[in-house]
Chain A
Amino acid sequence: MATEAYPAPAAATAKAARPPGVSPWRRAGRTVIHWSLPVYAGLALIYLIFPIAIIIWFSFNNTHSRFNFVWQGWTLKHWKDPFQVPGLLDALKVSIEVALLSTLIATALGTMMALALVRYEFRGRAPLNFFIFLPLATPEIVLGAALLSLFLSQSKVFQLGFGTILIAHVMFNISFVVVTVRSRLIGFDRHLEEAAQDLGANAWTTFWRVTLPLIAPGVVAAALLAFALSIDDFVITNLNSGSTVTYPLFIWGAARVSIPPEVNIVATMIFVVTVLIAILTVWQARRAEKLSEVRPEQEAIA
C-alpha cells in the first residue's frame, strides 16, 4: 500500500541522483553551442591564413627554372640569398617609406577632421560628411586616372615619382581615417572630459591626457588600416608612379612572367614579424591584466 500510494517518491529518489534541472542532452547541447563559436571562428581564421601558408610553403620550393608554380621538392636555397632578385629590395623600401609617411600624415589630418566633425556644430556638416565619404565610393581607377591628369597638366609642380605616390596615398587614406576615428568618437563619453575640467584641467591638458588616450585605440586602428592600405595599393599607384616601382607594382610586373620565390620569402618574413608583434601584444595585455589586479580603477577607463 505504501508503495502504491506514493509512486512519486520512488521516481523522485530515482531522479535525485542527477543534478537538478539540466539533462545531459541539454548540457551537451550547451557545450556544442558554447564551442561552436570558437570552432567557427577558428575555421574562419584558418581560411584567412591558409593562402599565406601556401605562400610560405612555396618559398621552400626547389625550382629548376625561373618559375615557382609547381611543387618540386624542399630546399633552403632561396633562403640563403633572399634579396638576389634585382629591384625587389628597392621596391620594398619605397613601399615602406611611402606607407609610413602617408600613414603619419593621413592619420594626423584625418583625426583632426574627425574631431571637428563629431564635436562641433557648424553649417555644412552633413554635406561635408558626404564629401569625405566620396573617395571611399570612388573606384580606384577613377581616382588614379583623375590624379594622373592633374599631375600631368601641372608637370612643373608635380614630377611623377615618390612625391606623387605619397600625395595619392594620403588622399585616399584620409577618408578611411576619418570614418574609423569617427566611429570611435561617437560613443565617447563627454562626461569624462567635463570631469577633468571640473578637476581644474585646461583645454589642452584635457585633450592631451583624457581625450587622446581614450580615442587612442580608434586612432591606432585607423593608422594600421592606413598603413595596410598604403602598402597594398596597386591601381592608383600604378598610374601615378612614373618610373618609381613600389612593392605591389614590382609583383604585378613579376607576376606577368613568374613570381620568384624571393617574393614568397619576403611574405614569410612579413608574416614572422607580424607574429612577433602579435606575441608582443599578448604579452603586453597580460601585463595590463596583472596591473589591473593591483589597480582596478585603470581597467574601468580602458
Chain B
Amino acid sequence: MAYFQRHKGIFPLLLLLPGLLWLIVFFAVPLYYQAKISLNTGSPFEGFRFAWHWSTYTDAIRTYHTQFIRSFIYAGASTGLSLLIGYPLAYAIAFRGGRWRNALLLAVILPFFVTYLVRTLAWETILDDSSPLVSFLQTLGIVGKNGHVLATTSAVIAGITYNFLPFMILPLYAALERIDPRMLEAGADLYGNRRSVFTRVTLPLSMPGVVAGVLLTFIPAAGDFVNAALLGSPKQTMIGNVIQSRYLEVNDYPTAAALSFMLMAIILVMVAIWAKIAGTESLMGAETA
C-alpha cells in the first residue's frame, strides 16, 4: 500500500480540484445568489430588494402545499412502479443476458436519445381518446365510456414512470451484475429454495442499486413539470409547474427561489431518511474502500 500512502498529501487534492472548482463556480455560487433572491421583497413590477423576508417561504407553503404533496405522491407512485417494472428487467439482463447484455442495455437507454419531449408526445398519441389502447381499456371497464385517459392523474404518472425508467434500471443492473453468481449457487446449496435465495441473498446484495435507482428516479420526478404540462390537466399541476411559472411567466423570483429551496430541502430530508432505512452508507460517506 506504499504508493497510496506516499501520495496521500496532495494527490487526492489534485484529483479533486478541477471538478470541485467547476461545481463551486457554476453550482454553489449561483445557488448562493438564488438564496439571497429568495429573501428579497417586492413584486415583479416594482422591483425587488434584499431584506430578510422570510415570509416568502411561509406564504409559498401556504399557497402551494397542495402541489407539493401532489408532486411527492406522483413521484412516489412512479418510483414504485418503476421498481416493479425495472427490477425484473434488470435481473433478467444481469443474470440471463449473456452475450445480449450490452445490446439489451442499449435498448434500455434508447428512449433517451429520442428527446424527452418526443417520448412524452408519443405517449400523447398512444393515450389519446380514440386510440386502440384506450378503447381496449374502455371495453375492460377501467375507463368510463366517455372518459379519457389523457388529462388525468393516471396519464401523468404513466408518463413519469416511463420517462425515468432507465434511471431505475441502470443502477439496478450495475448492482446486480456485480453479484458473483457463485453466491447464488451457494445460497441454493444452503437453502435450496429459489425464493429464499432471492430474498436473503440477491435482494440484500442489490440494495445499493435499489437505493441509487430509487433516488435517481424520485428526485427528478418530484421536480418534473413536462409530464404534467403535456399529459395532465390543471388538476394535476406539480410543484415543478409552479416553479416554472413563477420564474418565467410571472417573474416572481423570490417565491420561485423559495419554492425551489424548499423542494430541495424536502428531497434531502427524504433522502436522508431513506438512506437510514435502507441502511446503506455507500450513499454519501463511509466508503469501505
Contacts and interface: CB of A to CB of B under 8 A. Distances in A.
> Do any beta carbons of A and B sit within 8 angstroms of each other in the complex?
yes
Contact of B208 (A138, A183, A271, A274): A183
B33 A248 contact: no
Given A142-B34, A251-B118, A228 B89 contact: no
Nearest to B3: A203
B260 A168 contact: no
A120 B12 CA distance: 7
B208 to A, nearest CB: 6
Contacts of B113: 228, 231-232, 270-271, 274
B106 A274 contact: yes
Interface residues of B, number: 101
Interface stretch (B49-57, B141-149, B182-190, B212-220): B212-220
Interface in B121-175: 121-123, 125-126, 162, 165-166, 170-171, 174-175
Contacts of A129: 284-285
Interface in B235-256: 240, 243-244, 247, 253, 256
A135 B178 CA distance: 27
A285 B15 contact: no
Contact of A120 (B4, B109, B257, B286): B4
Contacts of B174: 180, 183-184, 218, 221
Given A55-B114, A267-B118, A47 B85 contact: yes
Interface stretch (B20-28, B40-48, B59-67): B20-28
Interface string A188-223: 101000100100001100100000000000100100
A130 interface: yes
A160 interface: no
Nearest to B2: A197
Taking each of A128, A139, A221, which has the highest tally of chain B beta carbons within 10 Å of its own beta carbon?
A139
Interface of A: 33, 37-38, 40-41, 44-45, 47-52, 54-55, 58, 69, 109-110, 112-113, 115-122, 125-126, 128-143, 145-147, 149-150, 153, 167-168, 170-171, 174-175, 178-180, 182-188, 190, 194, 197, 202-203, 206, 218, 221, 224-225, 228-229, 231-232, 234-235, 247-248, 251-252, 255, 259, 263, 267, 270-271, 274, 277-279, 281-282, 284-286, 289
Interface of B: 1-4, 7-8, 11-13, 15-16, 18-20, 22-23, 26-31, 33-34, 37, 85-86, 88-89, 91-93, 96, 98-104, 106-119, 121-123, 125-126, 162, 165-166, 170-171, 174-175, 178, 194, 208-209, 212, 215-216, 219-220, 222-223, 225-226, 240, 243-244, 247, 253, 256-257, 260-261, 263-264, 267-268, 271, 282-289
10 contacts: A48-B111, A51-B119, A119-B4, A140-B223, A141-B256, A142-B263, A145-B247, A218-B174, A224-B109, A270-B113
